[in-house]
Amino acid sequence: MKNLIVCFLIVFTIQFSYSQADPINVIVFGAHPDDCDVDAGGTAILLASMGHRVKFVSLTNGDAGHYNKGGGTLAKIRMAEAKEAGKRFGVEYTVMDNHDGELMPTLENRLKVIREIRKWNADVVIAPRPNDYHPDHRYTGILVQDAAYMVIVPNVAADTAPLKKNPVFLYSEDRFQRPNPFEPDIAVAIDAVFDQKIYALAAHESQFFEWLPWTSGNLDKVPTGEKERLEMLANWRSNAPNKVAMEALKKWYGAKASEIKHVESFEICEYGNQPSDEELRKLFPMLKN
């Protein structure tokens, strides 16, 4: 608890250091409740603490991700977990009612994504690349890619006003190498809010302390105490910078890069607006130092 209090004080200080008049609108898409949190949770905390608007959207309700629960019962659990995580991150959280494991890149789902981006008046859209082991992850990436550009076309999803400018679309980091590896253009140091990110991730109890440990054969190793669970999760989701992330950190943080322990990286999608470094510093004010 002491570490969390220190973390919140740091975030409070960041808020007054970087706040600006016009809020930046960032929307993050994931396939399942907890995906946005893992991919961009620290960045979301930093932006929200500066007074910017961040929204997480899960394209499925997560109703298949467990070993002894499922269907409507599990969907309700995961909805409640996402709601609590949203509070801890300081973001809005929407969970769509598509079945886990059954997401398809249909026109209906594309229009839903377009409407979400428009209603949020997004400046930045973050989603996974369509390179992944899980079909829901791949199709989330495809759906968001397919929404790029279309968000400014008035006659598509005409019931929702189009954006006046195409947002910057970003891919969240992954480890997959084929057909091409992830190449970060942006690297955000999240050391100051890492403990808060872990605390927020812990709201997804059914995933991080039940389902995912079960899939890896480590369910019997999950501790029962809150402190020990947070320590386990912090070790598991350390966000330690790899070689390619370190190169991006050097670009944005200079000599400070070698001191950074936790990072979230993003790659610019060529389908959206192509920002200059100056524009990126405005969209990610924490990169100004």
pLDDT of residue 13: 46
pLDDT of residue 289: 57
Q: Which positions of the chain have pLDDT values less than 50?
A: 5-6, 8-19
3-state SS track over the chain: CHHHHHHHHHHHHHHHHHCCCCCCEEEEEECCCCHHHHHHHHHHHHHHHCCCEEEEEECCCCCCCCCCCCHHHHHHHHHHHHHHHHHHHCCEEEECCCCCCCCCCCHHHHHHHHHHHHHCCCCEEEECCCCCCCHHHHHHHHHHHHHCCHHHCCCCCCCCCCCCCCCEEEEECCCCCCCCCCCCCEEEECHHHHHHHHHHHCCCHHHHHHHHHHHCCCHHHCCCCHHHHHHHHHHHCCCCCCHHHHHHHHHHHHHHHHHCCCEEEEEECCCCCCCCHHHHHHHCHHHHC
pTM: 0.93
pLDDT of residue 21: 62
Could you say which architecture CATH assigns to the domain 2-17+24-283? 3-Layer(aba) Sandwich (3.40)
pLDDT of residue 18: 43
Residues 20-61 have pLDDT tens digits of: 568 999 999 999 999 999 999 999 999 999 999 999 999 999
Domain boundaries, the chain: 2-17+24-283
pLDDT of residue 241: 96
pLDDT of residue 19: 47
